[in-house]
Structure 1
Amino acid sequence: MRTIGEWTRLNARRNPAREAFVGIDGRVTFGEAAERAWALARGLTGLGVSRGDPVGVLGGNTVFNAEVFLGVAVSGGIYTAYNWRWSAMELAEGIRESQPRILVVEDRFSDLLSTALSIVASDDTTTALPRVISQGELDHFRTGEGTFPDVVGAEDSLCLIYTGGSTGTSKAVVLSHRAATANALNEYIDVGIGALPEERGLMVTPLFHSAGLLTWLVTHFVAGKTTVLVDKFDEGQFVEWVGRERATNSFMIPNMMRRLLQAGAFQAPEVQESFRALHTGAGLLRMPNKVEFVETLPQAKLFYRYGLSEAGPMVTRLLHEDMLDPTVDGSIGQEYHLVEATLLSVDGDGREVEPGELGEICVKGPSLMSGYFRRPLATAETIVDGWLHTGDLATRDERGFYFFKDRLKEMIKSGGENVYCAEIEQVLYLHPAVLEAAVVGVSNDEWGEEVRAVVSLRPEMRASANELQEFLRQSLAGYKIPKEFVFMDAGELPRSGAGKLVKARLKDRLGWR
C-alpha cells in the first residue's frame, strides 16, 4: 500500500491546481501542499527527526495543522495529535508518554502548552522537554528544493491517536501508513467518500480524532479531493461554510445532526443546493431522526458507521439504501470490504456466537493499529491471535447486520440481570421530546447496581420522569427502567474531544458511584 508521502507525490502530479485544504487560515492546492510537505520534512530531518520519532502537534482544524501532518508523514516521523481540549495536566501526561523531540504548536494554544511543559519539568526530571516550534516560526524550518527521498515504508508508524478515555486512561494508538490507506480505500469503496467528481468534504470532527484525521482528511486526500476544515462547529457556521465552499458532504456525531435538524440548517437553500451526503456515527441514531433528515434533504444520502481508533478506525457501515429499513433500525450495519469482523463469546472460550446471540465484536484487517504506544502488555491484551478485541457487545442477524448493545465495561449488573445501557438509550431516543440520553449504573447495596438516566430535552418540549418511565415500559422489562432521571441542558453534559458524552465524568459530576 502507498504511504502518505507517495499519495502526496501522486496528487501533485494528477491534481496540482486543485485545492487540497481550505480553512480559516487560507487555501492550499495539492501542488503547493506537496512542495511545503517536502520542505518541512527536510527541515524536520535537519532538526534530528528520524523514522519512528514522535513529533507532537497541538493544533486545530486548520490548513496549518493539515500541512504539518503531511510534513511529519513524509519525514518518517510520527504525527502525534494532542487534544487541545485537554487540561494542562492531561497534556503534560500526553507529552510524558509520547516524549516528542519536536513539538509544533498553533499560537492560540501556546499558553496551554507552556503550562503543561512547566508541569512536566517540575514533576518529572527524567523526561527531556521537546523543542517547541510555534506557528509563526515554522516556515523558517522549511528548507531545500525538489521532492523528498522515500524513507518511509507502508508498515512504518504514521500517527499516534489518543483514545477517548471514556472507560479508563487514555492510551496512544499507533497507526501505520498501511492502516491509513486501507481505511481510506474502505471509505471510498463502501460509502463513496471521495467518489464525487467535484467533491468538497466539510470536516467538523477535530484533527486529533481518528474520525477527523483518517476517515475524513486522509480519505479525501487519497482520493484527490478537497477537505474544508471547520475550526468550530455550530449551526450557523455549518450553513455558512457549506454555502461559501459548496461543500458536498460531512461526517458528524448524531448529536450534531440532531442540532442541525432542530435549527433547520438542512433546509437552508445553500445546503439544499450542494450537500449530497451525511455520514454519522459514534452515537445512537434512530428512525425518527433518519426519516426527518431524508425528508428534509431528499437529494442527499445518509450513512451510519461504527468504529474505534484501534481499528483504524472504521469497522461496519449501514448504507443509505438500508437506512429506512425497519428490520435493521438501530443496526450499525455490515463490515467494510477490507474488514473481517465476528462476534466471539464473552465467556472467553474463543467460540464464534450464533445469530442473535450476544458476543464481543472482534476485528481483523489491514487497517488495524500496530499497537498501543510503548504499552506491549495492553497491546497483547487487546490483539489476541490477530483479532482486535473491541470491548463492545453486539448481536448479529442472519444477514450479517450487527446491532450494538453496550460497552463490555459499561454493562450494568442489576439483581443478577445484565442491563445494556445502549438498549435503553435507543428507546429513549424514540421519544419525541428527548434530544440526548445517557444511561448509567450506580452502586446499590440490595441489587448490586441500579439503572439511572440523564436526559436532555428538545427546546420548548417537556417530559417528566414518570412519562419517560411509562414510555420505556412499553418496550422494556421492568428491571431495565431507570429508577432515577436527571434532566440537564445538552450544553452542560461533559464531552470528550470528539464531542461524545463521557459517562464517567457525568457520574462524577452528579456524585453517582
Structure 2
Amino acid sequence: MVNVAANVWTNAANDPDRVALRSSRGDLTYGQLRSASSRVAGAVKAAGLQPLDRVVFIAPSIIEFPVVYYGLHAAGVSVITMNTMATAPEIGYVLDDSEAVLVLVWHECADAARAAAADRGLDLWIVDEGASFDAEPVEVAHDHAPDDTAIILYTSGTTGRPKGVELTASNLLDTTSSFLPVLALSEDDRFGTALPLFHVYGQAVVMNTVLVTGSSLSVLSPFEPTAMLEMLRRDRLTAMAGVPTMWNAMLHAAADYGPSDFEHLRLATSGGASLPVEVMRAFNERFDCAILEGYGLTESTGAATFNDINRVQKAGTVGPALPRSQIEVRDAEGTPVAAGTVGEVFIKGPTIMKGYRNRPEATAEDLQDGWLKTGDLGTLDEDGYLSIVDRAKDLIIRGGYNVYPREVEEILYEHPDIVEVAVVGVPDDHFGEEVAAVIALRPGSTATGQEIRAWAKVQLSAYKVPRLFQFVESLPKGATGKILKREIDRDAIRVAAAGATA
C-alpha cells in the first residue's frame, strides 16, 4: 500500500502500547495515534470529501499535528500544511491557488484561517486539545497510486507568487527509506525536535522517518533553548533535529547542564541553512555528539545529501548524495564540472517533486530530464561530498524559515510612501540572516522604519517582516532599470539601522 499513514499504522498493529509521541502535556502510544487519526479520516470521509481533494491544515509542532496529518492521509486527500504565522491574505492565496475544499486549524492560531475561509465560504474545523473527532474510524488507509499528490507545500523563488510544490505518495515513502540507513534509527530511539512540522524538514524528513521506523518523537513548540534542553533530559533523547540557530542557542543555554544530561544523545541533525563549523565543533565538545548536516529543498521532499552516520564526517560539507539519489554540479552550459569547481547544484532521484501545481512552465524550467535545477551554487569533492557555496537566488533564511524577497517587496510596494524597495538578507549572529529593506521614499515623506515595520506586520508573517531599514534617494540599477541587489552594501544597512535606533 502506498500511503505514509499506513506505514505508521503498521507500528500500532505490531506494538500498540509503544510510545509514539511525547510532549510536556503527555504521551501518545502508536495505538492511540492510530485510533485518533482513523477518526479524523472518518470525519473527512463522512463530510463527503474524495481522495485528492485539497485540505489545508495549520498547526504548530504539537502531538495533535501527526494525529490530524495521518488522518488526512488515511482519507486520501492532498494535505497542504501552512505556517501558523500565516496571515489571512497569505492563507487566502493558498486556498484559491490550490482550490482547497476544507481548512483545519489549531484553536490557538485560528483567527487568520477563519477569516480567509469565511471570505470564500469554506468549511473550517477547529482542532482542540486531543484532536478528538466523533466519527466512525477508517480501518484501512486509502491506497494511493504512487504518483498521486499526497502533499502540497507552498514556496516561491525570487520572482512571482508562491508556487505549490506537489509531492507524491511515493516521494514521502522514498524520503523515509532514504534516511533510515544513514541515520541508523531503530525502534528504541527517542528522537526530539522543535522544528515546525508544517515545513518539509520537520514533516517529511523527521516526523515521517521517525514514526515509520517505530521510534518515539518528542515535540516542542515554540522552540526555546532551555525548554529543548529540558526535553532532552526528561525524555532521555538519543537523537535531535534542528537548524543552526537552535544549536547555537542551546550551546549558550547549556551552562547548568552536565555530561550526564546528554549521556543518551548519539545523533543530532541540522538543515535549513549552513551550519557554522565553529558551532558544530563547540556542540560536539559540549554534548559529546556530532551534528550531521544535510541538504535538501522542498522540491526534493527535503532530501538530497546527508553526512551519513556510517561514513567519515566532513565538517563544512552537507555530505554525499542520499541512497538512490544523484548530485551533479554543472556550469552555465549544463556540463558537469570537475571536483572542487563551483557550479549549480542539480539533484536526481525518487524524492524529486511531481511539479508545481498548475505551473507547467515553472515545472519545465526547474525539472530537466528528471534533474532538479536547484539554483544553489556548490562544489563536490573527490569523494562526492557536497559543499554549498552560495545561493544563486536571493532567498533569505532567517532562523530556519525561508523568506522570499519578492513576496515582501510586493507588499512593501503597496505602502503609499514607498517608491522603490529592495529586500535583502544581512548576516546575523543569531538568526543566520536578518531581513533588511532598502527603501527610496516619495519626496516629502517622513515615514520611518518603525512605522513601515508596523504596517507590514498586518500583511506578512512575523518572520518575513524586515527588521533593518536603510533609506536612500534611489537604488542601484543596471542599464535596463533593474535594481542591482549585488551592489547594495550590507554593512551600510547595518550602520544605517544602528543609527536609526541609537
Provide the residue aligned with 2:34 in structure 1.
Answer: 34
Which of 123, 146, 151 is residue 154 of structure 1 equivalent to?
146
Which of 278, 301, 308 is residue 312 of structure 1 equivalent to?
301
Q: Per the alignment, do residues 310 and 177 of structure 1 end up closer, same or farther by CA in structure 2, a change over 3 Å counting?
A: same
Which of 172, 196, 209 is residue 180 of structure 1 equivalent to?
172
1:50 matched to 2:50: yes
Give the alignment of 1:98-497 within 5 angstroms: 98-117=98-117, 121=119, 128-136=120-128, 141-145=133-137, 147-148=139-140, 150-163=142-155, 169-192=161-184, 194-195=185-186, 197-264=187-254, 267-268=257-258, 271-298=261-288, 300-319=289-308, 328-347=314-333, 350-410=334-394, 454-456=426-428
Provide the residue aligned with 1:487 in structure 2.
Answer: none
Question: Paired residues, what number?
Answer: 423
Q: Per the alignment, do residues 136 and 278 of structure 1 end up closer, same or farther by CA in structure 2, a change over 3 Å counting?
A: closer
Q: Secondary structure in 1 aligned to 2:304?
A: strand
Cα contact 1:191–1:303 (8 A) shared by 2: no
Q: Per the alignment, do residues 44 and 345 of structure 1 end up closer, same or farther by CA in structure 2, a change over 3 Å counting?
A: same
Q: Per the alignment, do residues 49 and 401 of structure 1 end up closer, same or farther by CA in structure 2, a change over 3 Å counting?
A: same
User: Post-superposition shift, 1:317?
Assistant: 1.4
Provide the residue aligned with 2:420 in structure 1.
Answer: none
Cα contact 2:6–2:140 (8 A) shared by 1: no
Output the CA distance in 2 between the equivalents of 1:272 and 1:26: 22
1:65 matched to 2:49: no
Q: Per the alignment, do residues 220 and 252 of structure 1 end up closer, same or farther by CA in structure 2, a change over 3 Å counting?
A: same
Output the CA distance in 1 between the equivalents of 2:22 and 2:158: 32
Cα contact 2:5–2:141 (8 A) shared by 1: no
User: Post-superposition shift, 1:25?
Assistant: 4.7
User: Post-superposition shift, 1:500?
Assistant: 12
Give 1:17's aligned amino acid: D
User: Post-superposition shift, 1:70?
Assistant: 0.5
Give 2:335's aligned amino acid: R
Output the CA distance in 1 between the equivalents of 2:311 and 2:133: 50
Cα contact 2:84–2:109 (8 A) shared by 1: yes
Q: Secondary structure in 1 aligned to 2:31?
A: helix
Q: Secondary structure in 2 aligned to 1:86?
A: coil
User: Post-superposition shift, 1:230?
Assistant: 0.7
Q: Secondary structure in 2 aligned to 1:335?
A: coil
Output the CA distance in 2 between the equivalents of 1:220 and 1:137: 23
Cα deviation, 1:24-66, whole Å, max 9, x if unaligned, reads 5542211122222222212211212111111111111112121
Cα contact 1:344–1:360 (8 A) shared by 2: yes
User: Post-superposition shift, 1:182?
Assistant: 1.0
Q: Secondary structure in 1 aligned to 2:273?
A: coil
Cα contact 1:41–1:142 (8 A) shared by 2: no
Relative to structure 2, which stretch is displaced further, 266-275 or 302-311? 266-275
Cα deviation, 1:169-211, whole Å, max 9, x if unaligned, reads 332211122111111111111132x33x521111211011000
Q: Per the alignment, do residues 270 and 45 of structure 1 end up closer, same or farther by CA in structure 2, a change over 3 Å counting?
A: farther
Provide the residue aligned with 2:495 in structure 1.
Answer: none
Output the CA distance in 1 between the equivalents of 2:141 and 2:66: 21
Provide the residue aligned with 2:14 in structure 1.
Answer: 14
Output the CA distance in 1 between the equivalents of 2:211 and 2:97: 29
Cα contact 1:23–1:61 (8 A) shared by 2: no
Output the CA distance in 2 between the equivalents of 1:500 and 1:264: 28
Q: Per the alignment, do residues 24 and 112 of structure 1 end up closer, same or farther by CA in structure 2, a change over 3 Å counting?
A: farther
Identical-pair percentage: 24
Cα contact 2:189–2:215 (8 A) shared by 1: yes
Cα contact 2:85–2:462 (8 A) shared by 1: no
Q: Secondary structure in 1 aligned to 2:39?
A: helix
Q: Per the alignment, do residues 141 and 322 of structure 1 end up closer, same or farther by CA in structure 2, a change over 3 Å counting?
A: closer
User: Post-superposition shift, 1:457?
Assistant: 5.1
Q: Per the alignment, do residues 314 and 167 of structure 1 end up closer, same or farther by CA in structure 2, a change over 3 Å counting?
A: farther
TM-score (norm. length: structure 1): 0.75
Q: Per the alignment, do residues 166 and 28 of structure 1 end up closer, same or farther by CA in structure 2, a change over 3 Å counting?
A: farther
Output the CA distance in 2 between the equivalents of 1:500 and 1:344: 36
Output the CA distance in 1 between the equivalents of 2:310 and 2:64: 38
Cα contact 1:394–1:405 (8 A) shared by 2: yes
Cα contact 1:303–1:323 (8 A) shared by 2: no
Structure 2 unaligned regions, length at least 5: 398-402, 406-423, 431-455, 476-502
TM-score (norm. length: structure 2): 0.76
Q: CA RMSD in A?
A: 3.3
Output the CA distance in 2 between the equivalents of 1:248 and 1:137: 27
Output the CA distance in 2 between the equivalents of 1:70 and 1:16: 16
Relative to structure 2, which stretch is displaced further, 274-283 or 151-160? 151-160
Structure 1 unaligned regions, length at least 5: 122-127, 412-420, 423-437, 441-451, 459-493
